[in-house]
Every structure is written in structure tokens, then in C-alpha cells.
Amino acid sequence: MSRTPFSSVLVANRGEIARRVLRTLRNEGYLAIAVFSEADAGAPYLRDADLAVPLGPAAARDSYLSIDRLLAAARKAGAEAIHPGYGFLAENAAFAAACREAGLVFIGPSAEAIATMGDKTAARARMAAAGVPCVPGATLEEGLPDSELLARAAGVGYPVMIKAAAGGGGRGMRRVGGPADFLAAYRSARSEAANAFGDGRVYLERAIEPARHIEVQILGDRYGGVVHLGERDCSVQRRHQKVVEETPSPAVDPELRARLGQAAVAAAASVSYEGAGTVEFIMGPDGDFYFIEMNTRLQVEHPVTEMVSGLDIVALQLRLAAGEPLPFRQDEVTLKGHAIEVRLCAEDPAQGFLPQTGRVLAWRAPERAGVRVDAALAAGQEITAHYDSMLAKLVAHGRDREEARRRLAAALRDTVLLGVATNKTLLQRVLADDTFVAGGATTGLLDSFALADGPDPLLAAVAALVVCWPGGEAPEAWRRAGPGRWTVAFESGPVRIRRLRGGRVEAEAGGSALLLDVEAFDGATLVCLADGVLRRFQVACDEAGVHVDGGTAAQGFRHAMAGRERPADDGDGRVLAPLSGRLLKLGLAIGERVARGQVACVIEAMKMEMQVRAAVAGEVLRIAVVEGQQVSARQLLVEIRPDAPPAEGAP
């Protein structure tokens, strides 16, 4: 047998996946080496490493995406192997090849396998040859005229999916319902693909609707052995990014599971796959499934498979990379119970899942039976626009699906992350949704959710009470004090507070009247009777406002400040950045005429592209930024002189 033993491993990644891999490395007796950018100096995951090497500037292209810097860090630390984690260079064939040329063991498949499966059009051809069913689609060569592009889309049949040929993860992907929208979506997908993967090629697939996203975890050794560890259902998605994952799928029976497993094993064997990987399928309501792509790396959602199998997939990656054969046969794989994972992300669902940045004021992970938390967070940590928006993964295991679901819902109630807006409340709503509870979720589930919830009146009342609370005053002193009245102005609306005798409070927020009686408050935890029910709230304050988590919901309340900058849609002609990020593209020039709703620029933040549009029609007076510049939330980008409104009575 061909063995390539190693004893020291550099993790070419950051955040929660770096911590997860580093911990297995240490448990298995390897020297664990971390890397970090300037933005991650002092980050929590570095505490799990034996050694850590600085990479350079915060921008990913100058740190975690720099092959030269990573190889130099490996040499400096004496690493013998590199684990890529996921994201960044994990599926970069050139990186895998460079590692091996440098004499380093790349803990993953061969560069050839990555290249074949990373090129989605080549992968589709390879899968068809291996007998794996593929979604009907079409290739789109460079330079095709618009008429031919439209003809090929029509040949596939609408609705169609435009997909990046060189990558996945929802980037460079667009759903198109008809020919009128196709060309604009095609150009947008190409731009995003080129920015995300350095390759703007795209291809077409027929949109299978309604659909489930089913994937199969596989393991392969260098001797031709391949096994699978069952399927995962990743149907709950937003913008083609997974939100909730579970195993086994509630839509897959034993016969279908066997067919999915056989197809996944055939796919991996066709490229002599070595290591851990995932074969992804789309499944229609009739149970027919089709190959989408293969992720030639560890998946974000691998913990659910670990919880039902009892295996450490990272430890298996290390053994396979060292040249050991698979330690078990397919008939020896045992899967027990059910596991569900949710991704806690710094994003605002009410604003189209806009990524959020800021400082973590409080972080508390849940501690419950059957619950696992993968995170690398700490109070005081800055969440920047440079990297992915995912902050933590919460996973629950149960004897059956319902027990796993209940445990995960309870774990979310216990989770506290204040200072940065997250999708916690949305995740709780998904877990309680009737369709999800019944196991019927498809990729369109979130389309039916009303995401733009208003402020929670109870949380707003608590936030206002915290603002009015005298610093350092105990509840006893509050209760002894006489009556008082306050009005707290938040951006979401005013909250009126009236202190009664005995310290009880009448609050009016969002049209609701509430009665609060504070039992205890230490500056971080407020316990009060709210309309006769004893409740506990976690609170934190910063210069912008008050953040409140009531267990079943969490929200931030910004102070309304006199003279603050108005948002870009106030109609004054100023186009402001909706979030921090890198200005990817300017679409306007000084003196140009602008239509209302026209794209003024594109901002890249947390690996996503955001179009910023003009709120008024007029003439461009000023451009305050340049392409490639880092911009802050609410920073002025472009100033437009609005057209004069038509005279009263004019047609």
C-alpha cells in the first residue's frame, strides 16, 4: 500500500471550520497550525492551534485566497500537510497541485478530480458517461450572439437555471422564468461568477420545481474503495444558499436511499475520488433525481452525518490522505436517529438577507443534551464584510426527527448573539413551520415566508426600559422611586414608558400596551413579569442602540438621532452604501442622466454581490468613490441632482 504519513497540518481557513478541524488535529495527535489575516488577529479559533502564522491583509484575495502566502506559511511553520476546510481554496485544483508540488500532502482529492468536478459542464458529461442521471440542460460557449443564447434557453425549457461552470454555493446562479428576463440574468450571472471564481462561464439547466435538494456524503480511498454515509436533505434555502440541513431526508425511503447511494458512489468512482466529498442531486415530486454537482471537499453540513453515524469525518480525511484504506465496508455503515442543523448567519432576512457587520456584544452557546455547536465567536469580536456571513452552526440529534427538531428549537431559544443582526428568529420560524414539521419542505419554502416583520412590541418595550434605567440602580431602588414618564425614540418608532408606584411600568410600543414589573436586572439579563408572565431577556447596548433577545425572538433597536444621514431612498439624490463592503463596479459617470431604479454601483460583501440603485431620476453631480474601494455602511457613493417635480396641474 502507498502510504504518505505526516504529523503536522496547516489549516488553510478561518472561523468555525478552522476551529473544528484544529480540534480534531489535536485530538488525533497532530501538530495543529492555524493561519490568520490582519482582520482575524486574536480571533477565537487561534486558541485551538499549537502554532499560528499571519498571512497578511484582511482582504481574502491577499490572505486566505493567496496560494503563495499559504505555502510560505506552511514552510515557515514546518507543516507537512494542508487541510483546506471549505470555501476559499478548498476546491481549487491549482492549490491542490501547488501543495503537492511543494511536497505537502493535500488533505483532499487529486487536482485532476477537483478540476473535473469543479468544471460543471465537464462534470455533467462525466456523470452522463457513468450512468448518473443529469438535469436536462445546455452549454453556453463564449461569444454566442443573443439570439443563440435565447434559442438554447428555449430549447431547455423555462423556467431555467443559469449556473456558474467553475463554482457553486449559489454564486453565479440565477433562475429565469421567461425570455424577457434571460439576457439580463445571463450577464449578471457571468459577472458574479467571474468575480467569485475568476471564470465567467455559465451553463443552463431546466429548473425542477417543486424540488428537494438531496446530497450524499461519500468517502474514497486511493485504492478504488468508495462508500457513502447516507443522504442529507438541504432543501430549505435562500438565494440557493442552504439554511437548514438534515439527515435522513423525510422524503427518502430505503429503496430510494439505496439508489441515491449507488449513483453517488458511481460518480465518485468515475474520477477515482480520494477523501471526503459530496454528490448533490435535485429531486422532483415524482422521486426522480438528477445530478447537480459534486463538492470536492468537506461540507458545511457534515456534522449532521457525523451525529447519525458516530464518525469523525475530518479524522477519516486524515487517515485517507495518509494512504490508509477505508476502515469499513458499505454494509458496516450504521446510521442511527435523526440530526438537523441550522446556520446562524449575520444577515437581515427583512432586508433581503442583506449581510450585517458589527461588534459582538454578547455570545452564549446553548448547552443541551444531543446538541452540538460549531462556532468561533467571542464577545468583542468584529464581524467584518471581508468573509462569509455564517457565524455558527447548531446541530441537534434525536432518536427520531421530531425529537431532533424539538431539541434544536430549544437550543436556538438558549442561543444569545447580540450586537449583530442575525437570522435567528427566521430559523425558529422555519423549525416551527407546519410544512417543515410535516417533512414537506422544498427549495421554495422560504418564498412563502413574510420576512419583513415589524419590531416586536415586547422587545421594543424592554429596550426602552433599558434606556430609561438609571445606571447601576437596583430593582429595589427603581421600585422605591416615584412615578415618571419617558419617550424613547427608536428608528423603528417611539416607545412610551410610564413608571407607576411600586416600580411597575406601563409601556406603549407599536400600538400595543404592556405592563412590566422588573424582578432583577444586572445590566445584561433583565427578568420581569410581562403581562403576568415571568420572562428573561438578554440585553446589550452600544452607541447605536439596544439589542434584546427574548429567547423566541431577537431584535436590535437603533436610536433615532437628530441630523442623522437619511437613507438612500429618501429622495434627496444621495446614493448611500447599504452595508460595508468592496465597491466592485461603478455604473455611472459624472454628467450622466440617471433613471429612477437604475443600478448605480455593485458592492461585494461576504462573498455576495449587492446592486445599489438610484432612488431618483436626475443628473450625476458627484462620484465619491472608486472601484475596488472599501466602503462603510451609509457612506456616500454617488450624488444625483434630482429632476424638478412637474408643476402642479401639469400633465
498-528 per-position pLDDT tens digit: 989 888 999 999 899 999 999 999 999 999 9
CATH number at residue 596: 2.40.50.100
- Output the pTM of the full model: 0.85
Q: To which residue does cell 482582504 refer?
A: 59
Query: What is the number of domains present in the chain?
Result: 5
Average pLDDT on 537-549 reads 92
Beta bridge partners of 392: 344, 375
pLDDT above 90: residue 610: no
Residues 433 and 478 both lie in one domain: no
Beta-strand ranges (E) seen in 89-173 are 105-106, 137-139, 160-164
Residues 338 and 255 both lie in one domain: yes
Q: Residue 474: CA atoms inside 13 Å, Cβ hemisphere, count? A: 3
Domain that holds residue 252: 212-448
The answer to whether position 126 is within a domain reads no
Residues in the chain: 651
Provide the percentage of residues in the chain whose pLDDT is more than 70: 96
Average pLDDT on 334-359 reads 92
**CA pair distance 487, 559, nearest whole angstrom:** 12
pLDDT tens for residues 594-604? 988 888 888 88
**CA pair distance 216, 278, nearest whole angstrom:** 6
pLDDT above 90: residue 240: no
| Closest C-alpha among 400, 402, 411, 516 to residue 459 | 516
pLDDT above 70: residue 569: no
C-alpha grid cell for residue 189? 450571472
pLDDT band, residue 225 (cuts 50/70/90) = very high
pLDDT at 643: 86
The answer to whether position 573 is within a domain reads yes
Domain finish residue from 402, 420, 448 = 448
Is residue 159 reached through a cis peptide bond, with omega within 30 degrees of 0 on the bond before it?
Answer: yes
Average pLDDT on 429-451 reads 92
pLDDT at 449: 83
Least confident window among 125-129, 290-294, 377-381, 630-634: 630-634
619: Cβ contacts below 8 Å, ≥ 6 apart: 591, 592, 593, 594, 640, 641
Residues 572 and 527 both lie in one domain: no
Domain finish residue from 386, 417, 448 = 448
pLDDT above 70: residue 571: no
pLDDT at 580: 77
CATH number at residue 94: 3.40.50.20
pLDDT tens for residues 271-285? 999 999 999 999 999
Domain finish residue from 107, 123, 158 = 107
Task: Identify the DSSP state of 606.
Answer: T
pLDDT tens for residues 55-89? 999 999 999 999 999 999 999 999 999 999 999 99
pLDDT at 232: 98
**CA pair distance 398, 405, nearest whole angstrom:** 8
Residues 518 and 582 both lie in one domain: no
Residues 278 and 417 both lie in one domain: yes
The answer to whether position 563 is within a domain reads no
Residues 499 and 412 both lie in one domain: no
Residues 591 and 635 both lie in one domain: yes
The answer to whether position 507 is within a domain reads yes
Residues 97 and 151 both lie in one domain: no
pLDDT above 50: residue 121: yes
pLDDT band, residue 573 (cuts 50/70/90) = confident
Amino acid at 169: G
Residues 577 and 544 both lie in one domain: no
Beta bridge partners of 630: 582
**CA pair distance 126, 120, nearest whole angstrom:** 10
CATH number at residue 163: 3.30.1490.20
254 SS3 class: helix
Residues 342 and 443 both lie in one domain: yes
pLDDT above 60: residue 568: no
Residues 493 and 394 both lie in one domain: no
Average pLDDT on 247-264 reads 97
The answer to whether position 394 is within a domain reads yes
376: Cβ contacts below 8 Å, ≥ 6 apart: 15, 16, 18, 19, 43, 44, 45
The answer to whether position 117 is within a domain reads no
Between β-strands 362-364 and 416-418, what pairing exists: parallel, antiparallel or unpaired?
A: antiparallel
Q: What does pLDDT average to over the chain?
A: 91
pLDDT above 60: residue 646: no
Average pLDDT on 27-53 reads 97
The answer to whether position 27 is within a domain reads yes
Residues 202 and 217 both lie in one domain: no
The answer to whether position 124 is within a domain reads no
pLDDT above 70: residue 483: yes
